[in-house]
């Protein structure tokens, strides 16, 4: 069967047969120190196959044969939107096109449609678009170790002196271990916190759109024992202080809502104390890290959609690629 025919008949199988071969390595032109070609690792091959599956599914939906795809078709693929927002940022779009460029180079397709499409990518904004940072386990533990410190009880002028530090500590732990958006943590309500702990010590948080950003969707996520202990201690103190209102993490003694800016500043201070790159200092990095841990524990895109409160499974699948996985070797 001619090579073009096999790629048109079953592009996913053809790509799977191609991606781990020296022929694919040749298109990447990456060399080891000894001058030999760097063949793709199994983990990177898995990421590339995930990407290619996305492309092939879109081609099939639109009745496109792989060998006859045009530059315009590829620009439509990378420019697709959900609810008015681009599915792929410019850096991830470039990775898709670079992968396809290597496939069409292997097939000898000229002009190479992916190569032409790459010229239309605004690569100047790639660094700004890169929202895929995660923390390693070691970095996450450094983050926890740098959380706002509690003043010794004997140095408190009142039993509740320094309560905001304990509030901020609990909030940041919850964001990191439950994968909440900052808006969801700021708007977390007392009735949304489960009171009954599971056998493993975890508790359930039922996140609703109430008092949160309009992109929040109702979902339930388990807060593991480490986070449940921190949150439980804070809630006991909150109750003892008789703080009014329903916000789990109120801004002040009147029970007002915290601002997201305050939370971002507090998280930035934690990253700074941990001695980490301040470019990582945001709630998105913590949410990405939570998502990566879920995937490492075997979650699939549908599972991830549920615990992150995403609207579409496709959003979760793209999250797996764009926000969590390490850059594949090229």
**Are 261 and 141 in the same domain?**
yes
Q: Are 314 and 208 in contact, with CB atoms under 8 Å apart?
A: no
* 330 within a domain of the structure (yes/no): no
Assigned domain for 253 exists = yes
Q: Which of 128, 149, 183 finishes a domain?
A: 128
CA angle, 48 then 33 then 126, to 5°: 45
Per-residue pLDDT tens digits for 248-268:
999 999 999 999 889 998 998
What pLDDT, in 10s, does the model give residues 30-56? Answer: 655 566 666 777 767 888 888 899 999
Beta bridge partners of 83: none
Per the model's pLDDT, the better-predicted residue between 307 and 161 turns out to be: 307
Who has greater pLDDT, 149 or 247?
247
The average pLDDT across 182-190 equals: 95
Mean pLDDT of 68-82: 91
- Based on the domain organization, do 122 and 241 belong to the same domain? no
Whether the Cβ atoms of residue 92 and residue 60 lie closer than 8 Å to each other: no
Task: Tell me if 172 is assigned to some domain.
Answer: yes
CATH of the domain at 283: 1.10.443.10
* Cα dihedral across residues 203, 144, 246, 160: positive or negative: positive
Considering the domain architecture, whether residues 111 and 183 belong to the same structural domain is answered as no
Compute the average pLDDT of residues 77-100. Answer: 82
Mean pLDDT across the chain: 83
At residue 20, the pLDDT reads 85
Same domain (yes/no): 168, 312: yes
Q: Both 38 and 109 in a single domain?
A: yes
CA distance 267 to 294: 22
Confidence of residue 128 (pLDDT cuts 50, 70, 90): very low
Residue 283's pLDDT band, with cuts at 50, 70 and 90, is confident
The last residue of a domain, from among 80, 98, 128: 128
**73 lies in the same domain as 196:** no
Has residue 263 been placed in a domain?
yes
| Tally of structural domains, the chain | 2
Same domain, 167 and 53: no
Do 298 and 162 fall into the same domain?
Answer: yes
Q: 329 lies in a domain?
A: no
Separation of CA 324 from chain center = 5
Q: What is the pLDDT, as a whole number, of residue 89?
A: 73
| 219 and 101 in a common domain | no
pTM for the model stands at 0.59
Q: What is the domain extent for residue 61?
A: 3-128
- Do 141 and 115 sit in the same domain of this protein? no
> Are 318 and 220 within one domain?
yes
Position 127 scores a pLDDT of: 44
Domain boundary among 69, 98, 128: 128
Instruction: Write down the pLDDT at residue 194.
Output: 95
Token couple for 300? 């699939």
Which pLDDT value is given to residue 169?
96
User: Quick one: which H or E segment has residue 219?
Assistant: strand 219-223
- Residue 53, in any domain of the structure: yes
For residue 13, how many other CB atoms are within 10 A of its CB?
12
Specify whether 19 is located in the same domain as 80. yes
């Amino acid at each position: 069967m001619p090579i073009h025919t096999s790629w048109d008949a079953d592009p996913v199988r053809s790509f799977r047969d191609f991606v781990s071969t020296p022929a694919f390595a040749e298109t990447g032109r990456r060399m080891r120190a000894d001058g030999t070609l760097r063949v793709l690792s199994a983990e990177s091959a898995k990421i590339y196959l995930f990407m290619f599956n996305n492309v092939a599914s879109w081609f099939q939906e639109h009745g496109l044969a792989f060998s006859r795809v045009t530059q315009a078709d590829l620009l439509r693929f990378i420019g697709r939107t959900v609810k008015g927002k681009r599915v792929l940022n410019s850096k991830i779009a470039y990775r898709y096109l670079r992968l396809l460029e290597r496939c069409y180079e292997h097939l000898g397709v000229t002009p190479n449609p992916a190569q032409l499409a790459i010229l239309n990518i605004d690569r100047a904004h790639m660094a700004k678009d890169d929202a895929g940072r995660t923390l390693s386990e070691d970095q996450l533990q450094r983050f926890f170790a740098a959380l706002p410190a509690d003043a010794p009880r004997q140095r408190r002028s009142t039993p509740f002196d320094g309560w905001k530090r304990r509030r901020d500590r609990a909030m940041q732990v919850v964001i990191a271990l439950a994968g909440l958006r900052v808006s969801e943590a700021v708007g977390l309500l007392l009735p949304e916190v489960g009171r009954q702990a599971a056998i493993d010590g975890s508790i359930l948080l039922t996140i609703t759109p109430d008092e949160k950003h309009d992109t929040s969707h109702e979902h339930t996520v388990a807060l593991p024992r480490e986070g449940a202990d921190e949150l439980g201690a804070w809630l006991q103190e909150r109750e003892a202080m008789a703080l009014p209102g329903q916000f789990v993490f109120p801004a002040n003694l009147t029970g007002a809502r915290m601002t997201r800016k305050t939370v971002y500043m507090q998280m930035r201070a934690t990253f700074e104390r941990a001695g980490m790159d301040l470019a990582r200092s945001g709630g998105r990095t913590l949410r990405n890290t939570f998502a990566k841990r879920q995937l490492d524990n075997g979650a699939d895109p549908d599972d991830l959609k549920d615990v992150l409160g995403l609207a579409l499974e496709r959003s979760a699948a793209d999250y797996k690629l764009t926000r969590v996985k390490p850059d594949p070797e090229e």
